[in-house]
Amino acid sequence: MMMVIQTVSLVTDSSGLSANVTYDHRALVIDGKRRVLQSGSIHYPRSTPEVWPELIRKSKEGGLEVIETYVFWNYHEPIRGQYYFEGRFDLVRFVKTVQEAGLFLHLRIGPYACAEWNYGGFPVWLHFIPGIQFRTTNNPFKEEMKRFLAKIVDLMKQENLFASQGGPIILAQVENEYGNVEWAYGVGGELYVKWAADTAVNLNTSVPWVMCQQEDAPDPIINTCNGFYCDGFTPNSPSKPIMWTENYSGWFLSFGYAVPFRPVEDLAFAVARFFETGGTFQNYYMYFGGTNFGRTAGGPLVATSYDYDAPIDEYGFIRQPKWGHLRELHKAIKLCEEYLISSDPTHQKLGANLEAHIYYKSSNDCAAFLANYDSSSDANVTFNGNVYFLPAWSVSILPDCKNVVFNTAKVISQRNIGDHPFAQQKNVNELLLASSAFSWYEEKVGISGNRSFVRPDLVEQINTTKDTSDYLWYTASIHVMPGQGKEVFLNIESLGHAALVFVNKKLVAFGYGNHDFANFSINKKIELNEGINTLDILSMMVGLQNYGAWFDVAGAGLFSVILIDLKNGKRDLSSGEWIYQVGVEGEYIGLDKISLANSSFWKQGSTLPVNKSLIWYKASFNRMIMCQITTFLAPEGKGPLALNLASMGKGQAWVNGQSIGRYWSAYLAPSTGCTKKCDYRGSYDASKCQKHCGQPAQTLYHIPRTWVHPGENLLVIHEELGGDPSKISLLTKTGQDICSFVSEADPPPVDSWKPNLGVVSSSPQVQLACERGWHIAAINFASYGIPEGNCGSFRPGACHMDVLPIVQKACVAQVECSLPVSSAYLGVAAGACPGLLKALAVEAHCSI
């Protein structure tokens, strides 16, 4: 029986036609029909408007029907009452772009986002409203939250973007993962949840509202699941559908950490298990992660790259085999949609850690999911009188309860060669910025100008800077009397995130925390002079806290400075007089701005200063120099650039006045914890699969192509620790190498199975496709038989048949091609390599 909770209207194309929408215990119901929906997160400010259509197109081609995004309060209202909806923050344009692609949209207004975004998306000015307490039953906070919620809802209504107006928005979210921290707020938290729900419903959006990770979400709010797995999730009411709002496609990156990744076999297993056990709406967080441009990254120490190991990588390129394998999964689930929406699943035990879930349209018409959730043992199972092989930690999908069209552990989609779009030198053009191209400006250590102020003790950094800058100078004088020890130990305690220490204007120490523990200590033996000595400490933020109970009051900066003289004991400087300055000299001058590119502040000489702290560098590059790059930009001359900052230490970078974010190449990940190949079997967590141990988390930084223009372009670097800018380079991708390995035992493409007809083609296929704007220029390897090696290093095996001419004829000069894995198609005698299971391995090169 269908229980209608809310009635809305929506449109799936740009025609403006509306349809009725409700939900019941099984699914969202669109125009009277339950729907099984695949969704993916794309955060509009983490890319640029010019590439939104391409990202959304690739998402749709990957099988998505819904795009999910947060709304970022701190950038939409940077000053209370002053709104900004332009450029990367043009929310209306983004929603309309989704609509033009014929997709739905889930708008997560929050306004708390988390999202590894600075301050969780809250504007910092909110913190300074008298008497305010975030995310609890506090009137000042509730007034501001209600005002912003209403602002966004009204904006969407004015543009006719809600479903009831013929727009694409079918869902909205209030709050975010509050259930994870609600315990810390006591009764105030419980009351706040009820208030937030009532406030959302009373905004009359006419679309269903959700609260993720919120077991006590009151009706009619749908409580949803977030996590790596949600097949065991049950909503808090039998009238609500099972929805998964955050299925982590990987994990976020932090400075000083190895790079996390999630095998696609496990991700597909999690998705299949969710739909197997009754789910009908699932969202990948992220489907495209993008870039934390500027100072948008949260903290502490979240990296600039927000790649997230997503199906579309940070630069907008398709990540294979993740994108392709998930697309096949979506097709297989779509084949089962009529069954999934017709009934609740019937469970059948098949053995230890083996089970089936069957969906019936009638007693003899069904679809089934067969699961082996054992983390190590493969199995053969009997279902409906037939025997099926189930690899460990896998799900097979049978849209007719007979034929397997997809197994989550069998990855036959093409693969990219190289784990990063700029990993292969032969497919990259690199422009080295010579040392002669650079000018520089060396900052003064300590207080500069007339922007300082004095306090009788140590101040907390965020309350002092109000996040207008990452930097706060702490300066004190140390008087050494005759006879006092000149060699002393300096002990500094900080809440985070990093600090440079200067004694008498000379750098003596650098300390820093990490993402999990932002606080740190510095213990350093220093030498003082008789008389007056200066102690200058530059405390540095690397993103404001974005998650946790009461995260908004988490502090930063110094809280203890002590001198230890072995002769005369301790001397606590913490409560002495300190001089402060928010920001560094170059920020006040405005050295990052294009208007100062030719300023006399910049110096140039025959010897470029390198490995110096607190120095700004400037270099120009023009279209003439870049012609070798722009000629090969892809796709269609609009591809992204990467800035290689491996030779630098820590700082920020700008291109034509646009901040590409913070960098910290000097911070290396631990040397242990990575494996060459991560076993997808068994439960995944963020630390299970890691790569690039002992290396910086990030050395390449994304420059959107639209930020570079014909003529002269300006690169500005603010280096905090010390580096060598003469080794900085610009990279573009000129092509890609792809490969595929498919055996005769693999299933044919999901597309080959048709309802009521069964399998149309019984042959598995090698399917190859280039990025848009490129074509297959060459086949580098092709072997049918028992090829050996791995993608990128295939070689003929003991049984080898040269099928290169056939593959070349089918694929060269094509954007994509399909090759049936059969002796008949490949022109091989039927008796070749008798008794052996043969496979086709192909490596191809794509370019313009």
Where in the sequence numbering do the catalytic residues fall?
177, 246
DSSP of 292-326, one letter per residue? --TT-B-BTTB-SB--TT-SB-TTSPBPTTHHHHH
Is residue 618 within 8 Å of 439, Cβ to Cβ? yes
127: tokens are 């913190």
480 forms beta bridges with 531
Question: How far is it, in rounded angstroms, from Cα 397 to Cα 345?
Answer: 14
E strands, 433-519, are 438-442, 453-455, 471-480, 487-494, 498-503, 506-512
Per DSSP, the three-state class of 806 is helix
* Cα 563 to chain centroid, rounded: 43
Per DSSP, the three-state class of 269 is helix
Alpha helices in 336-471 (DSSP H): 337-340, 461-465
Q: Which is nearest to 91 in space by CA: 111, 114, 62, 64?
A: 111
Contacts of 15 (CB under 8 A, 6+ apart): none
Neighbours of 75 (CB within 10 A): 19
Question: How far is it, in rounded angstroms, from Cα 69 to Cα 55?
Answer: 13
Measured at the alpha carbon of residue 163, what is the angle toward residues 160 and 166, in degrees to the nearest 5?
55
* Cα 123 to chain centroid, rounded: 21
Question: How far is it, in rounded angstroms, from Cα 671 to Cα 768?
Answer: 36
* Cα 203 to chain centroid, rounded: 31
Pairing, β 700-703 against β 531-540:
unpaired
Q: What are phi and psi of 437, to 5 degrees?
A: -80, -10
Q: Which is nearest to 47 in space by CA: 83, 99, 84, 97?
A: 97
Q: Which is nearest to 203 in space by CA: 135, 138, 141, 149?
A: 149
